Structure 1
């Protein structure tokens, strides 16, 4: 299950992707449109800014916009930034590998073998489906999930 923070981050990115390319959206606009608490959204957008996904502009016409095009932002990247590794077991993580505490032998572990298939299928979907896909091809996203 993904966190509420990750859901809000994805919804905020979709809102920004739907905006005109040179138009910056205020936190208040995104929060109201997406029903996200403003304080929570501020932190999420700040995190996404530090990761180079969005940029902010101050002033009357200020707000947030995407720093990259929506077709260059994969769901998996956003989930990893917000929630951490996608792998269901620490021994399957590519970015935070850790041997399972109770593991006897990774090579023969039946549980690891099953969840390795789950992890690979999850990565296949989340690392290939982008914000643009979610907006432009709802059928693709539905069939991929």
Structure 2
């Protein structure tokens, strides 16, 4: 399950992706616009900065911006940084694999279906970019405006 941390991180990145590449955004602007607690967002953006997704500048005129184009940021990578492995259980994980002590993996039906779940999740998230998320949001806004007219 996507945690609140993962959700807020993606929302903040989509916010930054709407800006012209390289333009800075104040953390308060991101927090208020996306209804994210500022203190929590500060910690999330710190993790995203350490992972190379965003850059920050301190002081007057400071803020956050994407470290690379939105088309180069894979959604699955962001989620793994913020929330850890995609698999619902450790024995089905590729990145955070841990052997179960209570079953025989080769015949465990729970593990088998959870491997399918992990694969399906990765299939979607590892093929989607931040650019696609941003553009889908733009399409949703345009459709909403058209519907209201």
**Same-fold call, TM cutoff 0.5:** yes
Aligned mates of 1:112, 1:23 — CA distance in 2: 45
1:124 is matched with which residue?
123
Does structure 1 retain, via aligned residues, the 8 Å contact 2:21–2:69?
no
5+ long unaligned stretches in structure 2:
138-149
| Structure 1 residue 58, shift from structure 2 partner | 2.1
Q: How is 1:1-145 mapped onto 2 (pairs within 5 angstroms)?
A: 1-103=1-103, 105-137=104-136
| Structure 1 residue 40, shift from structure 2 partner | 0.7
Report Cα offsets for 1:72-93 as digits up to 9, x if no partner.
Answer: 1111111111111111121111
Aligned mates of 2:23, 2:72 — CA distance in 1: 19
* TM-score of the pair, normalised by structure 1: 0.89
Does structure 1 retain, via aligned residues, the 8 Å contact 2:31–2:38?
yes
Does structure 2 retain, via aligned residues, the 8 Å contact 1:89–1:100?
no
| Structure 1 residue 108, shift from structure 2 partner | 1.5
Aligned mates of 1:35, 1:57 — CA distance in 2: 22
Report Cα offsets for 1:9-67 as digits up to 9, x if no partner.
Answer: 00000000001213100101101111111111111111111111100012322100000
5+ long unaligned stretches in structure 1:
139-145
Does structure 2 retain, via aligned residues, the 8 Å contact 1:87–1:119?
yes
